[in-house]
Structure 1
Amino acid sequence: MITITINNQTKEISKAVSVEQLLNDLNQQSQGIAVAVNQSIISRHNWDQEILNDGDDILIIQATQGG
């Protein structure tokens, strides 16, 4: 088990996964979001290559419309 933090909430997952796999596991739509791991934005093209490690801090930001 590894422990990660997603939007300030601690979560345990069974194994190291990619950002893309995590989003799928969370049923998170990939359109209109940005993902940062340890305060570094991860390009959407690299989501399948960015493997999460124990202690990582993930921030998922949902774009909104309006002013």
Structure 2
Amino acid sequence: MTMITVWLNNQAIECQSQQSLIELVEQLTLPTLGAAIAINQAIITRSDWSTTVLNHNDQITLFQVIAGG
């Protein structure tokens, strides 16, 4: 199986070629409550996480929404 490198919040992560975004989220047990994810500076809606395939050198940014007052 071919491995690729993606960058999650500026950290290199090895994952399988043709892996979906939701598979990476589950593999790394990333927090999803109040989370937003961008790939190459484009926000990916949660409904598209399962159909978004990761590519070598994708820049993934995980944002946690924090409520404030």
The answer to whether TM tops 0.5 is yes
Write out the 4+ residue segments of structure 1 that deviate beyond 2 Å after TM superposition: none
Aligned to 1:34: 36
Q: What is the TM-score of this pair, normalised by structure 2? A: 0.88
Helix, strand or coil: the match of 2:50? coil
| Aligned-residue offset at 1:2 | 0.2
8 Å CA contact 2:15, 2:24 repeated in 1: no
Amino acid paired to 1:4? V
Unaligned runs of 5+ in 1: none
Q: What is the TM-score of this pair, normalised by structure 1? A: 0.90
Alignment match of 2:47 (pick from 35, 40, 45): 45
Q: Over aligned residue pairs, what C-alpha RMSD do you find?
A: 1.1
User: How many residues are matched?
Assistant: 67
Unaligned runs of 5+ in 2: none
Identical amino acids, percent of aligned pairs: 39
